[in-house]
Every structure is written in C-alpha cells, then in structure tokens.
Structure 1
Amino acid sequence: MTPAEDNSADRLLQLYCRFIGVGYLAYFGLVLHQIVAEAPITSVWWVPLAITTVFVPGIAMGAATFRRSWQKPTRYAAQAAALGFLVPVLLWLPAWNGQVPPMTYLWISAIPGLAGWCAAAFWSPRVALAYTCLLVVLTQSLNHLSGAATSYLVPDLITNLGYCILLVGAGCITLRTGRTLHETRSRAPKDAAIAAAQIAQITERRLFIDLVHTWVMATLLAAARQTLAEPDLRRHAQAALARLDSLAAQPPTDEPVPITEVAERLSLAVHDVDASSVLRIETDGHAALPCAVVDAIAAALTEAVSNSVRHAETCGTRTVFIELREGSVCVRVADNGPGFEPAQVGDKRLGLTAMKGRVEELPGGSVSIRTGVGQGTTVTLKWRAPRREPEDIRALLGMRQPAAWIATSGFLLGMALQAVTGRSGITTWWPVGVALLLFIAAAVALLIVPDDPMPILAAVPVTLSGPVAMAFVCSVLPVPVHSGTQLWPLFLATTVYAFLCVRGRVVLGWVGSILIAAVAIEWAIGTGQGFAYGVMITAIDIAPMTIATIVARTIRPAAYDIFAVRAEAIRRAARSAQLAAATAERSTQLRTLDPQIFRLLETIAADGRLSEHDATTAGLFEVHLRSVARAPGLVHPIIVDAAWAARRRDVDVRLVDDGADRIDELTGPQREDFLRWVATEIDGCDPGTAVTIRVNPRRRPALATVVAKTLDSTRRRSYETATNLTRAPVTAVGATPATTAWT
C-alpha cells in the first residue's frame, strides 16, 4: 500500500490546516488598516487581545503543519483559534466606548468562517457548524448594535449564515471524505474483488451456455433429427469443436480487443453459421473495445444468425450490418422470413432469452427485435460505453450532495433579501433582478456542470457573470450608497470566483475578480467618489481568492492523487479476482461436458452423420444440455453426472434456475451441501419418474424445490438454507388428505 493511500486522511487534514493558516495571514494583512481605524472606539486592551486570540493561534496552526510531528501542535492551535475567536466577540461590548464604527461592518464580523474552519478540523461537523452559526449571529448582532450596519439584520444574518455554512460545510465534507477513503482503503478493494469475481463467474457461465446452445446442442439436435445436409452438419461440428478447443486453450482475459480484430471475429461468427449472409462492416480505425463486450456481442450475433437460419424460409435473404466505433457497437441482422409474434414466444426460446440477457447485462447494452407474422425479422444489438463521471473536486467538497444545494440556496436567498431591502435610493429595479439571475445561473453551473477542470465553455460565462451583474447594479445605485449591503454583487461574485478557482479555473477566477473590481473602480471614479474608494471596497476580496487559489493548487491535486491511488488499488484487486474466477468457472464448465459429446462431435465432423445408436445418444445429450442451460446455477459435475445417469435409466430430469444467482451467494460449505442434496434427490428417482429441480425466486423462503412425479404419486421436497431440508408429503394420485404419508 502506498503512502498516499495509507495516509489520505492525515494528508488532507495537514493541507487543510495549512491553507487555513495562510488564510489567517492573508486576512490579517487585509484588515489591519481597519483594525487600526476601529481602535479608537474600544478600550486599549481589546485590540491586542483580539489579535492575540484571533490571528496568532490560526497562523501558528498553519506553521505547525510544517513540523515533522505536526498532528498534536496543530490540533492544539486549531482549537485555540476556534475558541479564541469567541473571547474578543464576547468582550467587544464591554470594551466599546459608544462611538459609531468608521466602516459599515466591524472587522471581526468579516472572518467568523475562519474560526469555523478551525473547528471543522477537529470537531464533529454538527458541533463545528453550530459553533460557526453562533459566531455569525454574535458578530452580526454587534454590527447592528454598534450602528456600523444600517441595513436589516435578518437579511444580513441569512446571507452570512449561508456563506459560512457553505464554506465550513465544504471543509467538513472534505475532511470526512478523506477519513472515509482512509477507513475503507482495505475494505474497498476486497469488496470490489468479490463483486468482480461474481460478475466474472456469471459472465463466463453465460459465455459457455451460449457456445453450448449455439454450436453443441444445435449440432447434436441436427444430427439426431437429420435436419441438415452432411456438408453443413460436418461444418457445424467442426466449428463447435474449434470453439471448444479455443475455450479450453485460451485463458480468460480482460485486455481490450482492437477493432480490426473485432471485425474479423464478428465476420467469422456470421459466416460460420451461414456463409451466404450478405455482410457489411464499417469501422473507424484504430480504437479498441472491451473484451467482455466483444464476447457478448459475438455470442449474441451467432445466436441471431442461427435463429434466422433456423426459422426463416430457405428462400429468404439475410443481411448483417456491423458498425464498430470507439466506445460503441451496432449490429443489425435482418431477414425476409416469415417472422413471428413476440408476445406468443416470450421467454420460451432459450436462444432468444440468452441472446437478450447476454447483451442487456452489459452496462450500455441493448437488444431490440422488430418482427411480425409475414414481416420478416430484424434483430439489433447495440452497446455504447456508459459515461462514467470521474471523481473530481465536487465529490471531495460535497458539491453533489443535497446539503450543498441547501447551503447555496440559503446564501443566494440572503443576498436576494439584501438586494431587496437595500432599496433606499434605487428607483429602477430590473437591473438588480437581472444581476441576481446571472449569479444564480453561475452558482447552479458550478454545482451541476461535470468534468474537471470545469469546461471552458461553462467557465467563461461564469467569469463574465460578475462584471456584467455589477455593471447592471452600478447603473442604478445612489451616490454615495446608502448602505454597504447595496454593494452585494462584490461579495457574491467573490464567492462564485472562489469556487471557480476550486473547480480548476484559477486564471478565469482571478480574471473575473479583476474585471468586477475594474467595474467597481470605474463606477467610483465616474461618480466622483475616487479611485481610492473603489480599491477600498474591492480589496477585501483578495483574501478569499488567495485561499481558493491555495485550495486549487494543494488540496485539489492531493484529492486527485488519493482518488487515483484508491481507484488503482480497486482496479488491481478486481482484475485479479475477475481473471481467477473466470478461469475457475471455465474449467468447471468444461468438465461438465461428457467425453462422449466430444466423440459424437468428432464423428459428425469426420463423417457428416451418426449411426442410429449414436443419433439416439446425441438426442439424449441435447435434452440434457438444454436442461442444464436453463439452470446455470446448477451446472456442477456432481449434478450433471447425476442428471445424465438418471436420463440413461429413463428418468425425465428437468433443471430450472429462477433464483437470480442465489446459489452463488451461498458459502462454500453451504453450496457443497446443497449440490449433494440435489444429486441425492436425482439418484433416488426410479425409472419413469419426471423430476423437476427448481431454484426458487428470491421471494420464496426455500432455496430450491424438488418435485418428482410418477403415475401413482407426487413427491415434493424443499431445501432451506438455514435448516438445510424440509420435507413435504408424498400424495398418492386420487388420495384424500387423510391418506397422505411422509417420506
């Protein structure tokens, strides 16, 4: 296990605390002039106390992350920074001398989110968020009690609560994601390996069933009934043997197959069944397709052509069109035969069911059949690579979760209320509404647009939303503004650009921030308020943009490394388990074929016909294989041997698997016990008995049921996973319940 995987939680926590420390340093530089300006309105002791309890622990926390043993000092500094922020807040009113602050907000009310971030580092998310809300309520109350803020308290509270919850919540989710990745680093590959092994087992089983049904069973049935001419029968037997030999000689693989090789395999699949089919293939060159997709499509194509040959009129024409592109396959088999009514066929035809099941089990696979009596038949097989959205920074920050939408909505609602309540001096309202809509669209785009970094076609409109919205609002603002909240676009745009940086578009984020500052400065100059005023109202935005840039340059790459290491570990474990399970399943399936089947196929391949005795044997084997194909979960040498021996003594054995892989979910000992039970039930049947072994659907408590019928009685027995066996009575034909006896 690599260090990146083993220490994912600690690595994220270290970077997180480091960037918060930089944030404290940046904000201290930006608000220092305001700290100096507000010093005359408080007692002389308050400012040194505030700097010591607010900024020193936060900066120390960031510095501590560079130490070799950083965890303990960082924890102490983070908790001191979180709790220390509360001290000057609670002491501000006793220290206040009653003078009105020189600006529209107190400097301490601008940074409660920093303390919330510190709390999120080592406290539970609920406690950290609750503590952040407390700090926001207290600082905003001080704003309004001191007379610094002249707007309404409720909009200010909603805006700042939404903003801080958005940022602190993202921090909580980031750290939780890191802890989750760390805690599941060993379990996730194991779970992936188990799932991959189960899928490989089922896939390999279906591959074998398709081969047996299309080639072995069809050849044996044709030989038993003499429905094919000797040359055609010989060719079918040779193809069946070649495919069985290939299956035994070539181990399972998951290597992609070049499209040129795919075209050859599909062409061979068609011409092995019917050399007269009109075949047209279109490819796009040098791409490759997944091996599992190629196997499934080739098997389904063989079955589709075989069905067409078997059921279409001999005078009909058959056209096969194959289109191979990177990430997609389209195969169409069309004939002008008699067609059929799909509703009347349903799932009765094993080949049709297997063909549809094989392709539709592929993620992105589909099968459509267009037919009707007298209308011919067209079978279309399609596969398109499913789009897998990669893990990006949105996953790390929880931007896909409902909580992100709730926090964003609350923040936007607060900004809208500020815009509405800051109506003093504004006579034209539609520019304000347009500005709000632009910001809402930008926020939604940041949350929902996939890919990382954010696609340039989406990022550019987000960048332009800020200066355009600011221009609209500035066109109707009074001069001077009646309240600082009337400059709400600056605050909202900075939040948008900070998250744009986090989404990987740092340059565009800074471009947007510079453009909106330019609009604000131009408005200040044009209205006679001066260049300095324009700089003053926009300079505070440098700090959050700096923090966002640090996140984009440190935590974001670290998150990708962690996701990549985890994904690679899962892929390696899944691949190894998949190949091992597929190899074992292929070996098991091949062992279920009786050596006599190979002898019969070899005889057919050499002579093109069978003796009367061998033809009877071939018919028995066809029935046997058909029953086995209908119950893939029961394919095991123990059951196969018992079923074949029973058929040889005139027992009608029917195997049915309706359990949707219930048998695969049994433990090793449970499965062995169950298989022995089934074999014993089959061995106990007398000649002339018709016995049905059914693996029950999941809704039935019993795993399997055996029903054995003779002319005189019916015997039912069921297998329970927990109690192994329950017995049901044997009822004589025509008997009343009183004559029921137990076996």
Structure 2
Amino acid sequence: MVVGVLVASFIPVLAVLPFGFARHAFLTDYGWPWPTLIHGVVIGVAPLVLSLRWFVAYLVAYGPLVAMATWWAGTGWSAYQVAVNTVSTPLFGLVVAGATIMSTRAAATLDRDTGAALVQAARRAATIAMATERARVDGLVHDAVLAALLFVGRTRGNVAAIAVAGGQGIAALDRITAEFDPAAMITVGELVVQVRRTCAEIDHRVVVSLAGDPQRTLAASAAQLFLEVASEAVRNSVRHADRSDRAVNRVVEVREADLITVRITDDGSGFEPTNVGPTRMGLAVASARVDQYGGASLLVDSSPGAGTVIEVAAPSIPVVDGGPRTAIGDAAQHTEPVTAAGMVGLHTPLAAVLLTTYLAVEAARGFESHLDPRWFSATLAVLLAGIVLLVAPSLDPMPQRRAVVLAVVPGLAALANVTAINSDSHHGHNALWSWTMGTLLMALLTLRGRFMLAWCGMLAATAVFVGWAAHSRTGFYGDFTGMVTWEMMLLAITSAFSVTMWRMVGRINAVRIRSIALATERAESEARLRERDDQLRYLNVTARPMLVRMCQPERFEDDECLQALLLEARLRDRIRARTLASEPLLDAAARARSRGIDVVLLGDGDVEEDQFRELTEIAIRELDTSEGNQVTIRVHPDGRSKLCTIVHNGQNFNRRVEIPRSDALADA
C-alpha cells in the first residue's frame, strides 16, 4: 500500500512543484529540490504495483514532468545539462525496475521449469525403477523358475526332485510380491546366515565363512544383491563345474572392509568367460544385478581346468557419483540451482543494455565538467570492463579471481576519475561521475555472492575520492558528505536485499529439490509396482500352472516335458530379448521349436516403435518358413547400421537376412 501511494502521488507532486512552491523552499545542497532526488526510487519500486503495460505508460507521463521539474530547479542550466540530469537519476531507478521486472518473470519461468523438471525427473525415475524391477524379477525367474522347467525336461522320472524344483519355482514367484524395503538395514552376520541357508539348499557341502565385523550394518538392497549373486554362482557351479575324477569344493567368503565383498570359489572344471554363448544367461543376469546397485562391481576369473572365482563388492549403501544414492541426491544432481543473479536477470542482454546505458548517461554528466579526455576515456573503459565481468555468465558465488578483479574496478576508476580533474574542470559532484557507477557494480556484486569484496571495492573508491577532496585546493565542498552518505546507503540497502535474495533462493532450491524428490519417489514406486504386477500377471498365466503340476506326484509324460521345455525357452526369450519378444513372435518361436528348430532370440539394442511392427512381421515370416536346424534373430546395439539380422543354419545351407535401420523395412 505504501509503495502504491508513493507511486500514485509522485506525479501530481512533480506537476505542481514549479507552480506551487518557491525554489528556495525545496533546494538541497545539490541545488535540486528534494522531491526530484527520490524519483529514481519511485521508478525502481513502481513495477511492484504496476503491470508492465501500466509501467510503460507511467514512464511516458513521468518523463516530461521530470524534465520540467529539473528545468525549474536548474536555473541557468543549458539544455544539455537539463537533459543529462533528467535522464540520469530515473535511469538508475530503471535499472532497479528492470531487476524487479526480471524477478517477476523469473518467478513465472521458474514455476514452468520446475513443472517440467518434475515431469522429466518422474519419467527418468520411472524408467530406472522399471528397469531395476525388471532385472530383479528376471533374476528370480532365471534362478528358480527356468531352472525348474529345464529340470523337468532333463529329469523326467525323478518325481520327488521335480516336486522340489517346482516348489522352489513357486516360492520364487511368491517372492516377487514380497514387500521389500531397500532402505532397511541388516547386519553382516545376518547376511552370512542367509547366504549359508540359501547355499545349503543348493549344495549342503558349500562352506560359508566371514572375515570382519558381524555387527556392521548394510542396506537390505546390498544384502539382496550378495544373496542373489552368490546363490546363482553356486547353482551354476553345481550344474557346470562338476568333475568326473573328484569332488568339487565350493567356498563362499564374506569379507567386511571398506567395501563388503562376497567371493565364491570352486576348484571345478572352469570355463572361458569370453566364450560364454548367448544362450548362457547366468553371468548376464549377475552383471545386470550389479549394474543396478550404485558402486558395486563384479569380477569373474576362470579358465578351463583351473576352477572359477566370482567376486562381487559393494558399499554398504548404494552410491551415485561418490555419494549415497537418495531421491534427494538424485534430484539435486539433475536440477539446475536457482541463483539470486539469475532471479533478477543479471546475465541477460537487457541487464547489459541497462547498465551500459546508465554508464553512458553518467559519463555524459562527467563530460560536462571538462575533464581530461584521456583519463576520462580510461575511466569509461575500466567501468565498461566491470560491466562485462559482472554480467558474464558463471557459477554463483562468482569465481573468486573474477570477483577480485571486479572489486578492483571502482578503485581504478576512481583513480582515473580524479586524475582527469584539472584546473579547468568544474569541481561539482558531476566531476566525480564514476563514483555511483562503481558503487552500483559493487551492489550487484553482492547479488553474485561476494559481499566482502564488494564492500572492499566500494571503500577503496571512497578512500580515493576522500583523499582527493582532502588534498585538493577545493577541499570538502558542500555536497561531498551527502555523496558519501548516498554511496554507503546504496551499498548497504543492496547488501541487505542480496542477503534476503540468497536466503530466498536457498529456500526455493530446497523446495524444488524436495518436490522433485517426492515426484521421483512416487514415480519410482508406481513404476515398480506396475512392472511387478505386469510380470507377475504374465508368469501366473504361463509358468505357475506348470510349477503347480510339478509339485503333484504324477509322473510327467513326454508331451508335458516338451511343454515345460518350450515354456522355459519362451521365458528365457523374454529375458534375453525383451525388446524383440512380443507374444506373436514368441508363438512363432514355439512353433519353430516344435518342428525341431533351435531358435535363439537376442536383444542387444532397442527397436523404435514405428519399426517394431514390421520387424516382428519379418521375423515371424522367417520363423514359420524356416527349414534349417537353427534360426538366430538378433537386434543389434544402437548405432549399428543394421537394425537386425536373421541367420538360418541348415545341414547344407546358411542364409542371412539383414534388416536396415530405415522406414523401408518391408523391402528387407
């Protein structure tokens, strides 16, 4: 209300000033009536109560009145003096008004940017959460369900063993829906107990040991990672590492140090890690699990005849970029912070134009004092360099070296300014024209977060001017004390404003990060539940009936064993080639396998939505018409010129179909 009254009443005050009052009644030491000294403040605060359109109209009405009042105050002034002094003080207010307008617009832009950041963060979090949940479910399916279905095809007559495998598969499906809190903490000792129990179910001879503090805590997500990798490693060792000449020793070591490490070793037949075929998914699943946990690493060391070592190491809490992984941390990492300088538009072209224009007007005031042109030009150049340093984009607080250079500008400009004053100069306040401009630069430096340097720069300039006034022949002329007071008050007010702005943007950043973190957590939870439900719905329809059948005491017939193997292959295809494995394509693969064809689906890259349908049609056609022994369909990694290759291998022929990355897939 106070600002509104001030803005609304000032125009009539200026209008009646030359007609209703005598000049001497309002004159100050400057020779100006005092109402005209505060019109810069009025303009600066006007945008707080006026829209942009009304503010422009206010300036149009305001200009002639200021010119008239200045003309009335400056008896004997030339038209040049009236014009310069009419523009200079309102222009200072216009700089403040520009900051106010930019702050208002920045707030609106900030709202839009925050909304966009919320959407982007939610999408990113949903994608990551979906991939993480998919990897978790794929791991459970691979470890138990696929193993159980494959066991049926290879062990038809062992009803009891099949029932045990079926029960483990059903338990794995049930664990998909188990509530899991990744932020929960357990001790290393509890981890060892779980590892020992899980490994004993696979091979009761496995030795599990602990080196370190059993009371150290770790995240439940870390424990889940160790448990799943260890169980899969032991299971693969039992399947593939046994030797005919002796028993194989298997050891699981849990070591507690800076990182927690689980090391699984055996002295079995070993293998060559680089020669693992695409149909063997154990290492791929383990690697995917490790990749989903921030800071974890996987080591595989094996060679034929020399045994195998698999080691997974991870911090007790998942990390991202060296710090604990949290929703707040992720939001802070992906959110551009708001700065005080950014809020007032200090890095915009408008700020550069306003400051340069104000410098030009202030220089015009100094020019009328008949200063030495060389030193006058040097003063102008130094201040112009200060503007460039101030508005150039950089991090806030402004880098210290740049801020130190900028803080030196007012003092250098003051030295050049007083050197330019000669015997022919007018020793009025216009002769010290660089003072206010230097103070304005320091005032805006506080917005860049360098308060101490700003005050040092302003005090250095003040010391130069005070020293000049004390040692010059003119001494302390009448309005010098008022100038010192004005410069001090200007920097003090802007410093207080900058402190308020920095606190405000700190709260804004905290609220933005927290809002984005909440949106991220909500999106993660929804995406994880959606992916889990979709996967479980599919598995309940396809896999659970077969697993329930396995738990029944009746012997499996040949056609049931074939169905189990086809189902195992179907689920394996969904894990191994998810970007390719649509239901029609999986049906075509099952038909080909029923004809005795070995089908391998590999998805190493993504398929664009507009290419997927036509690619699927080509792949189904190739599977249904194949007469070879094996068909391999592979989607290549992104960046390759070929989208997909389909290779037919037969007894007397090989045929290769290449599908390019183009819209003309039908021509392939």
- TM-score under structure 2 normalisation? 0.61
Question: What does residue 143 of structure 1 align with?
Answer: none
Match of 2:596 among 623, 627, 650: 650
> Aligned with 1:692: secondary structure?
strand
Partner of 2:17: none
Which residue of 1 is the match for residue 232 of structure 2? 306
Moved more, 200-209 or 274-283: 274-283
**1:332 correspondence with 2:279:** no
The equivalent position to 1:206 in structure 2, one of 132, 135, 144, is 135
Question: C-alpha separation between the residues in 2 aligned to 1:245 and 1:88?
Answer: 82
1:584 aligns with 2:530: yes
Residue among 257, 275, 278 paired with 2:183: 257
- Aligned position for 2:497: 550
Query: How do 1:544-623 residues align onto structure 2 when only pairs under 5 Å count?
Result: 544-550=491-497, 552-553=499-500, 557=504, 575-593=521-539, 597-598=543-544, 621-623=567-569
Q: How many residues align?
A: 591
In the alignment, is the contact (CA less than 8 A) between 1:318 and 1:333 conserved in 2? Answer: yes
SS at match of 1:634: coil
Aligned to 1:276: 207
**1:134-176 deviation digits (Å, cap 9, x = unpaired):** xxxxxxxxxxxxxxxxxxxxxxxxxxxxxxxxxx6x7676455
Q: Determine the structure 2 residue equivalent to 1:75.
A: 53
User: By how many angstroms is 1:247 displaced?
Assistant: 0.8
1:350 maps to amino acid = M
Q: 1:36 to 1:541 in 2, by over 3 A?
A: same
CA contact (8 A) 1:54 1:85 kept: no
Aligned residue in 1 for 2:284: 353
Which residue of 2 is the match for residue 633 of structure 1? 579
Q: Report SS of the residue matched to 2:605.
A: coil
The superposition leaves residues 349-389 of structure 1 with CA deviations (integer Å, 9 ceiling, x where unpaired) of: 63333433444356x54535374766955433354144535
SS in 2 for 1:257: coil
Deviations 1:97-127 (A, max 9, x none): 579x99xx97965773532454xxxxxxxxx
Task: Output one character per residue of 1:308-356: Cα deviation in whole Å (capped at 9) or x when no partner.
Answer: 67458943543223679xxxxx442335657877666698963333433
Match of 2:617 in 1: 677
Which of residues 309, 315, 326 in structure 1 aligns to 2:249? 315
Pair 1:384-2:319 in alignment: yes
Structure 1 90/204 Cα, relative in aligned 2: closer, same or farther at 3 Å? farther
Determine helix, strand or coil for the equivalent of 2:207.
coil
Deviations 1:1-60 (A, max 9, x none): xxxxxxxxxxxxx9xx99x989x99xx9xxxx99944548xxxxxx79x93995486167
Shift of residue 650, structure 1, vs aligned partner: 1.7
Distance change (3 Å), C-alpha of 1:193 and 1:473: closer
Distance 1:379 1:222, change over 3 A: farther
Amino acid at match of 1:302: E
Q: What do residues 428-468 of structure 1 show as CA deviations (whole Å, max 9, x unaligned)?
A: xxxxxxxx9xx99x989995467xxx9xxx99x99999999
Residue 691 of structure 1 aligns with which residue?
Answer: 631
Q: Does the CA-based 8 Å contact 1:34-1:107 persist in structure 2?
A: no
2: CA distance, partners of 1:193 / 1:285: 34
Find the aligned partners of 1:565 and 1:377 in 2 and give their Cα distance: 44
- Contact 2:577 / 2:601 at 8 angstroms: preserved in 1? yes
1:66-97 deviation per Cα after TM superposition (whole angstroms, max 9, x unaligned): xxxx53xx532345448966997999999795
Tell me: CA distance 1:377–1:231, structure 2 relative to 1, closer, same or farther (3 Å). farther
Unaligned segments of structure 2, at least 5 residues = 15-24, 201-205, 243-247, 322-328, 361-371, 376-382
- Identity of matched residues, %: 21
What corresponds to 1:114 in structure 2?
Answer: 93
1:243 maps onto 2:177 in alignment: no
Deviations 1:696-720 (A, max 9, x none): 4444677655555555674748598
Write out aligned runs for 1:359-398 (5 A).
359-360=290-291, 364-367=294-297, 369=299, 371=301, 376=309, 378-381=311-314, 383-386=318-321, 387=329, 388-389=332-333, 391-393=337-339, 396-397=342-343
The one-letter code of the counterpart of 1:381 is A
Q: 1:93 to 1:200 in 2, by over 3 A?
A: same
State the one-letter code of the partner of 2:198.
D
| Matched residue SS, 1:653 | strand
Quote how far apart the aligned CAs of 1:278 are.
Answer: 2.4
Secondary structure of the equivalent of 1:200? helix
Distance 1:315 1:555, change over 3 A: closer
| 1:545 to partner: Cα distance | 3.6
Cα offsets for 1:275-326 (capped at 9, x unmatched): 633246769989x96xxxx6587347622563367458943543223679xx
CA contact (8 A) 2:132 2:292 kept: no
Counterpart contact for 1:333–1:378, Cα < 8 Å: yes
Query: Residues 498, 52 of structure 1: CA spacing in aligned structure 2 closer, same or farther, 3 A cutoff?
Result: closer
Q: Structure 1 counterpart of 2:314, which letter?
A: L
Partner of 2:363: none
Residue of structure 1 equivalent to 2:666 = 726
Q: Which amino acid aligns with 2:94?
A: A
In structure 1, how many angstroms separate the alpha carbons of the residues matched to 2:91 and 2:454? 24
In structure 1, give the amino acid aligned to 2:252.
R
Equivalent residue, structure 2, for 1:121: none
Residue type of the alignment partner of 1:397: M
Query: AA paired with 2:313?
Result: T
**Residue pair 2:635, 2:645 contacting (<8 A) in 1 also:** yes
Q: Structure 1 residues 523 and 351 mapped into 2: Cα distance closer, same or farther (>3 Å)? A: farther
Q: Within 1, Cα distance between the matches of 2:154 and 2:567?
A: 13
Could you say which residue in structure 2 is the equivalent of 1:732? none
Q: Contact 1:85 / 1:115 at 8 angstroms: preserved in 2?
A: no
3-state SS of 1:307 partner: helix
- Structure 2 Cα separation of the partners of residues 315 and 354 of structure 1: 24
Question: Is the CA contact 2:192–2:208 (under 8 Å) kept in the aligned structure 1?
Answer: no
- Deviation of 1:245 after TM superposition, in Å, equals 0.4
RMSD across aligned C-alpha pairs, in angstroms?
6.8
SS in 2 for 1:277: strand
Contact 2:255 2:262 in 1 (8 A): yes
| Distance in 2 between residues matched to 1:715 and 1:175, nearest whole Å | 63
Q: Structure 1 stretch 300-309 or stretch 515-524: which is displaced more?
A: 515-524
The 2-side partners of 1:337 and 1:591 are apart by 38
Structure 2 Cα separation of the partners of residues 422 and 230 of structure 1? 106
Contact 1:210-1:299 at 8 Å conserved across structures: no
Q: Cα distance, 1:199 vs. partner? A: 3.4
- Paired residues of 2:341 and 2:448 also in contact (CA < 8 A): no
Rounded Cα–Cα distance in structure 2 between residues aligned with 1:116 and 1:282 = 64
